[in-house]
Structure 1
Amino acid sequence: MTTNMTTKTLYLLCSAAPPVFDVAHVVEDAQARGWDVCLGLTPTAAHWLSGSLDGLAALTGHAVRWQYKLPGEPDVWPPADALLFAPATFNSVNAWALGLTDRFVVGVAAEAIGKGTPVVAMPCTNSAIAAHPQFDQSLAVLRTAGVELLYGESGFTPGPAGLDTPPHFPWQLALDAVDRHPTAQA
């Protein structure tokens, strides 16, 4: 649970990739670093974690969101000081770069760029799907927009197709990258 001493807010946005099952530990690690964490999920990630959503809300002290609020409803999250989108799947990366914001987390990530919020993303895909030409174009668009991408030698390295779970997803590297942003330091 977060404390009143927390002065900086991290939006942790997750797509449906196997590292999402570690999200409770990631929230705890971020909280230990002084972050007030708000957790957003793609609809499929929310489905995968459906049995844990109440516990994750209790852990963060905020509603776990995967859908847009209705017009006129108040925003239940405080403003973000930084945003981490990890794991970010092939689909989420491409939708984000193309501005296709029908999913809540992609819309929040797209808006963060326009607000000047520090944004770090760690894609998680396999090497076969990452070979699709749109993926490199999408990564280039996001880099140009100011997103710090932790991918390849600087982050997550895709493995071969067919593995259900990547051998290692460098969550600590992602949290370290968020901590380095000057506007994210309280």
Structure 2
Amino acid sequence: MSRTRVLYIIICAAGPARDAVRLVRAAKEQDWDVCVIATPAAVDGQFIDAQELESLSGRPVYSTWRRSGEEKRIPPADAVIVAPMTMNTANKWAAGIADTYALGALTETVGLGLPVVALPCWSTALDVHPATRRAVEVLRSTGVRVLYGEGQWMPHAPGAGSEWLDSYPWELALEAAST
């Protein structure tokens, strides 16, 4: 008997995070065992509804490291989705900075050779910064499938993020993680 596939969904503090329940719900419909990890900013800034995510996934939403001596809280992942991925997360992750539980999990998954999908969320003003472009290149070079570019995800105009929140392509990320 095979075990249920485990999907880590890592959520950053960006507008689409409010609808992360859509991704969790869709993953559960595909029989994934979902573990939600949120950046501290996503939790503290109330970008997510942690109670609803916990209810849907059947697991707590984690945003902090486990304590010394505490047993592992979640099973090993079979795939990882980071969505929405902010510029801050992309840059830190590409630089190997693991100063939060979410970044630590992301940094480790690359080394484990897991399928990792990143669905960015930033403005055109942030997109032109050289660090952003370098981060995308570095992440792709490590095997991360960054859904960025024509036909995938494109940055929004500064201040216009709320206009496209409903069309954030959660399904692209789940499809990419499932293949």
TM tier relative to shorter chain: over 0.9
Change over 3 Å in CA distance of 1:166–1:119 after alignment to 2: farther
Give SS of 1:92's match. helix
Whole-Å Cα distance in 2 between the matches of residues 166 and 111 of structure 1? 34
Is the CA contact 1:97–1:141 (under 8 Å) kept in the aligned structure 2?
Answer: yes
Whole-Å Cα distance in 2 between the matches of residues 166 and 139 of structure 1? 24
Tell me whether 1:66 sits opposite 2:63 in the alignment: yes
Consecutive unaligned residues of structure 2, counting only runs of 5 or more, are: none
- Tell me which residue corresponds to 1:183: none
Change over 3 Å in CA distance of 1:163–1:76 after alignment to 2: same
- Give, as a single letter, the amino acid of the residue that structure 2 aligns with 1:172: E
TM-score norm. by structure 1 comes to 0.89
Is the CA contact 1:63–1:76 (under 8 Å) kept in the aligned structure 2?
Answer: no
1:88-129: CA deviation from partner (whole Å, max 9, x where unpaired): 000000000001110111110110010111101011100001
What is the Cα deviation at residue 6 of structure 1?
Answer: 6.7
Aligned ranges for residues 156-171 of structure 1 at < 5 Å?
156-165=153-162, 167=164, 168-171=167-170
TM-score norm. by structure 2 comes to 0.93
- Give, as a single letter, the amino acid of the residue that structure 1 aligns with 2:176: A
Whole-Å Cα distance in 2 between the matches of residues 40 and 67 of structure 1? 9
What is the Cα deviation at residue 166 of structure 1?
Answer: 5.1
- Tell me which residue corresponds to 1:175: 174
Name whichever of 77-86 and 54-63 sits farther off: 54-63
Change over 3 Å in CA distance of 1:143–1:50 after alignment to 2: closer
Tell me whether 1:18 sits opposite 2:15 in the alignment: yes
- Tell me which residue corresponds to 1:115: 112
Is the CA contact 1:6–1:36 (under 8 Å) kept in the aligned structure 2?
Answer: no
Aligned ranges for residues 89-108 of structure 1 at < 5 Å?
89-108=86-105
Give SS of 2:26's match. helix
What is the Cα deviation at residue 37 of structure 1?
Answer: 0.6
Aligned length: 176
Give SS of 2:157's match. coil
Whole-Å Cα distance in 2 between the matches of residues 103 and 169 of structure 1? 25
- Tell me which residue corresponds to 2:142: 145
Consecutive unaligned residues of structure 1, counting only runs of 5 or more, are: 181-186
